[in-house]
Amino acid sequence: MAHLQTQAWFSELHQLSTTPIERKWLETSHTSSYIQRAETACKSNQTFLDSMDVAISKDSYEVALLAAGAPIILADEIIKGSIHNGFVLARPPGHHAEREQAMGFCLFNNVAILARYLQSNYGLDKVLILDWDVHHGNGTQHTFEEDPSVLYVSTHEYPYYPGTGAYTETGIGRGKGATLNCPMSAGVSDDDYEVAFREKILPKIESFKPEFVIISAGFDAHQDDPLGHILLNTEFFGWMSQRMLEVADKHCQGRIVSVLEGGYDLSALPLCVAEHLAVLSQK
C-alpha cells in the first residue's frame, strides 16, 4: 500500500470495504462439513488446517470470510456500472482450496465462489478465470472441470506444487475443452509466456467469448520470487493485464475482477501489483 500510494493514479481509485461472505455462497464451492471444520479448527486455536502449508490462527476463519466476500462486493459494483473493473488486495488466497480440503495457504476458493455467484445472482452464462499464479490452481480446476460454462485457463510452473496442471488436463465430460493448461518449465521468461498467450490462450478465450473476466492474479512467477522458478519481468504483468483488458472490452463490457493469489518477494510484489493496477485504472 505504501508503494501504491505513491502512484499518480492512486487518488483516482475507488476503494471499497469488505464484509464477511454469506455462508450460502461458500457452499457453492465447499461442503458444509468442510466449512464447519475450518471454523472449528481456527476458533479452537489449532495451528494448521489439513496440512502444514495452511497455517491458521484463531482469527483465520473470520479473515477468510472477509477475503471471500471482497470479490463479491467488487463484482456487485461492476455489474451496477459504478466502476469498470477492480482488484481485490486481500489474503488468504484461494485457488488451491478444494471442495473439502485446505491446501497451499488457501482456506476458501475466492475466485470459484465468485464465478458461481455471478452465474447464480446475475444469470451470466460464460465466465472466464485466467490464473497466472506460478502454481497451478488445482482447486479452481477441479471445481469447474465438468462445467462448460466456466473456462479455466492457467499458466504455471510444471512439474511443481501441487502437481496438477498437465496440458492433457482439459476437462471432464461436458466440461471437456473448457480447461486450458499451459504448463511452463522452470527458467522460462516473458517471451515464452507471450507465445502461450498469442498461440493458445487468446485464441481459446476468443472462441469462448466470456461475459465476465476473473483473474487469479498471483505474482510469484516474477523472477525475484523465492517460491517459483519462472523469470517474468515486472513489466510483463502489465502486458498480461493489457491483454485481459482488451478481452474484457471486446466481450464483457470491460468487466474484470482480479483477485490476489501468490507473490512472496516483498520488494517485487508491490511493483507487480502497481503494473497491474496501472493498466486496470486506464478505464
Catalytic residue check, 96: yes
Residue in 84, 95, 96, 276 annotated catalytic: 96
98, β-bridge pairs: 101
Can you say whether the dihedral through the CA atoms of 225, 230, 235, 239 is positive or negative? Answer: negative
Supply 23's cell numbers.
Answer: 455462508
Q: Strands across the sheet with 212-217, in order? A: 85-88, 256-260, 212-217, 127-131, 150-157, 179-184
SS3 labels along 76-95? HHHHHCCCCEEEECCCCCCC
Which residues are within 8 A (CB) of 228 and not within 5 positions of it... i.e. 6 or more apart?
A: 134, 135, 157, 160, 220, 221, 222, 262
Catalytic annotation, residues: 96
